[in-house]
Chains A and B, each alone.
Chain A
Amino acid sequence: MEILRGTGASQGVALGRIKIIKQKNTDVTKHTIENVAAEIARFNSAVEKTKETLGVLYEKTVTEASEAEAEIFSIHIMMLEDGSLTDCCESIIYEQSVNAEYAVSEAAKVVCAMLVDTNDDYMMARTADVEDIKNGILTSLTGENGDVILDENTIVFAHDLTPSQTINLDKSKILAFVTEKGSKNSHTAILARSMKIPSIVGVTGCMRAEFDGLECGVDAEEAAVFIEPDEKTKSKIFVRGEVQKSREEKLRTLKGKKSITKSGKEIKLYANIGGEDDLDSVLQNDAEGIGLFRSEFLYLGRAELPDEETQFCAYKRVLEKMQGKETVIRTMDIGADKQAACLELEQEENPALGYRAIRICLEDTDIFKTQLRALYRASVFGNLSIMFPMITSKDEVERVTELASCVRQELKDEGISIDEDVRLGIMIETPAAALISDELAPLVDFFSIGTNDLIQYTLAADRQNDKIGNIYNPTHPAVMKLIKMTCDSAHRAGIWVGVCGELAADTDITQTLVAFGIDELSVSPGYVLAVRESIINSN
């Protein structure tokens, strides 16, 4: 047995036989042609044919993966229609009286050089697209379709797969992808994930000819490829695969079901997300709403603050996509530990306990009001709740709700319509907030317990620090007491209370949280169904 390692790009395990897919032979010979006009016509008809093929690939990808994944092919069509590549080809044929195949490969070099010249990683990576298009035209010219015939249970080994190669392969026969090149973010990795095919990329030395046809095991979680696996490895992979399969099947049956405990209490099972890209997985995993939408992505990695219009458009898109399901958007939760150039925060000794989140918002109220205006303007497009982070006192809550009411009045005076029923809630993530939750509850519409910070502040233990990992204990009695206290305060005031930290996804704790009377759990989209199962099994 030989073990090769790489980077897991799409999760899962597989056992099958290796098929090495060599790169298409792109060596083209140069020869002179007599009839230039005829050669140009031959070239143009090949371009048209390539466009048709790309159109088919687009449709195929929409069905097999999603429209977002398919877009790359419509961009390829645009690249063909762009003229940069095709004009260059035509002039090479015309000026040098050479065959179209040669002209295409020369023209591709010119365009690639232009992209490399930008000296920009992203644009340089687009040379792969140009190569893909070039190969498409060459295929159309030669008439060879280059399709690979696969046996059942194949594990594809390749140097790197182009998007069109990936989508053209018969997925019913492929168990896994192993590539020598490629990154987690390459198109192929993204496609593999959306098609749920295990993939390992960056596996150096996987293209040895003698591997072809050998038995192989793939474990993407361990990022390991086993060539001719021994019996022990095989049975380990087999068992893991079976466990995963039956688990997934079981969880899939829970889609569309309500999250109700044995004693009949319905729990709102929501998802936590950090950007618009995650919305699809929220809906795919059947989350009943969004319990924590982190608005930080709007502020990070940019030089200027996001203006009201930018924010409004983003919130509107999210709310529309959620089609009336409750969507809890948390206002900006940033401190000196995050890269937010637009906020110009000073370095701090202890950013976790420093100038952050609501503390910035209450100091620099313009930033806060811009966000609130954008949120309220978007509120008419869905079912919005607004949540404020890092609360420690009654005064903060009063100031926050007053600012919110100012913004509502302002918008109304400007004749802008807003949803009057937007609920305002706070995060309970400091021990202080939990301890005075009885005083805070009457001031708001809901509580959401942010366990990650609550645990870290209660136990004085940084959760990023491995050395004190044993102290960071999510189920420490002190933490449990604070959660229970918060639940009781909420219910006495007649408001709902949820948990949106990682603890919410810990199915060993679900029963305890249910017993505390928790009304809502918000977890990463991938955990929704597992937590639903756990709720259904709780008393």
Chain B
Amino acid sequence: MQEFTYTIKDEIGIHARPAGNIVKIAKEAKSDVSMECRGKTADLKKIFSLMSLSVKCGDEVKISVSGDDEAEICEKIRRYLTENL
């Protein structure tokens, strides 16, 4: 399993559009992908699950990826977060 933490800098947090894009990346993965925020965990392959975390600006999120392509997916999500959120 690979993990990393990231602090959301985007003003509005993870809203529908970026949530959609993150789910898109997670769905391509063979690995299980999850995000933890304020004690709640979401399955990143499910958009409602991610949206119900209602991640805001300044929140620290922990991403965990476990499976065959964990390194690649971890890097993709990290890149998406740093470039967009």
Given A71-B20, A304-B7, A309-B82, the answer on whether A78 and B47 have CB atoms closer than 8 Å is: yes
How many A-B pairs have beta carbons closer than 8 Å: the answer is: 69
Q: What's the minimum C-beta distance from A371 to chain B, rounded to whole angstroms?
A: 15
Size of A's binding interface in residues, CB under 8 A = 31
- Separation of A310 and B7 alpha carbons in the complex (Å): 12
Q: Is B16 touching A126 in the complex (CB atoms < 8 A)?
A: yes
Give which listed residue, A79, A309, A310, contacts B48 with CB less than 8 A: A79
Kindly supply a per-residue 1/0 record for chain B positions 26-70, scoring 1 wherever the CB is within 8 Å of any chain A CB and 0 otherwise: 010000000000000000011111011110111000000000000
Q: Is B54 touching A78 in the complex (CB atoms < 8 A)?
A: no
Q: What's the minimum C-beta distance from B4 to chain A, rounded to whole angstroms?
A: 14
A303: Cβ under 8 A from any B Cβ? yes
Of all chain B residues, the one with the shortest Cβ separation from A309 is B82
Q: What's the minimum C-beta distance from B51 to chain A, rounded to whole angstroms?
A: 6
A412: Cβ under 8 A from any B Cβ? no
Residues of B within 8 A of A129 (CB): 16
Give which listed residue, A83, A85, A118, A303, contacts B52 with CB less than 8 A: A118
Q: Is A75 touching B17 in the complex (CB atoms < 8 A)?
A: yes
Given A303-B58, A304-B7, A310-B9, the answer on whether A75 and B52 have CB atoms closer than 8 Å is: no
Of all chain B residues, the one with the shortest Cβ separation from A71 is B17
A245: Cβ under 8 A from any B Cβ? no
Give which listed residue, B9, B49, B51, B82, contacts A304 with CB less than 8 A: B9
Residues of A within 8 A of B82 (CB): 309-310, 313
Q: Is B20 touching A75 in the complex (CB atoms < 8 A)?
A: yes
Residues of B within 8 A of A72 (CB): 16
Q: What's the minimum C-beta distance from A83 to chain B, rounded to whole angstroms?
A: 6
- Separation of A81 and B12 alpha carbons in the complex (Å): 25
Residues of A within 8 A of B48 (CB): 79, 82, 84-85, 111, 114-115
B24: Cβ under 8 A from any A Cβ? yes
Of all chain A residues, the one with the shortest Cβ separation from B23 is A78
Of all chain A residues, the one with the shortest Cβ separation from B49 is A84
Of all chain A residues, the one with the shortest Cβ separation from B8 is A302
- Separation of A72 and B19 alpha carbons in the complex (Å): 11
Give which listed residue, B16, B54, B58, contacts A120 with CB less than 8 A: B54
B15: Cβ under 8 A from any A Cβ? yes
Residues of B within 8 A of A111 (CB): 48
Kindly supply a per-residue 1/0 record for chain A positions 76-109, scoring 1 wherever the CB is within 8 Å of any chain B CB and 0 otherwise: 0011011111000000000000000000000000
**Which residues in B have some Cβ–Cβ distance to A below 8 Å?**
7, 9, 11-13, 15-17, 19-20, 23-24, 27, 45-49, 51-54, 56-58, 82-83
**18 new A-B pairs (CB below 8 Å) besides A114-B48, A310-B9?**
A75-B20, A78-B24, A78-B47, A81-B27, A82-B46, A82-B47, A82-B49, A84-B48, A85-B48, A111-B48, A122-B15, A129-B16, A302-B9, A302-B57, A302-B58, A304-B58, A310-B82, A313-B82
22 A–B pairs (Cβ distance < 8 Å), ordered by A? A71-B17, A78-B20, A78-B23, A79-B47, A79-B48, A82-B45, A82-B46, A84-B48, A85-B48, A114-B52, A115-B52, A117-B52, A120-B54, A120-B56, A122-B12, A126-B51, A129-B16, A302-B58, A303-B57, A304-B58, A310-B9, A313-B82
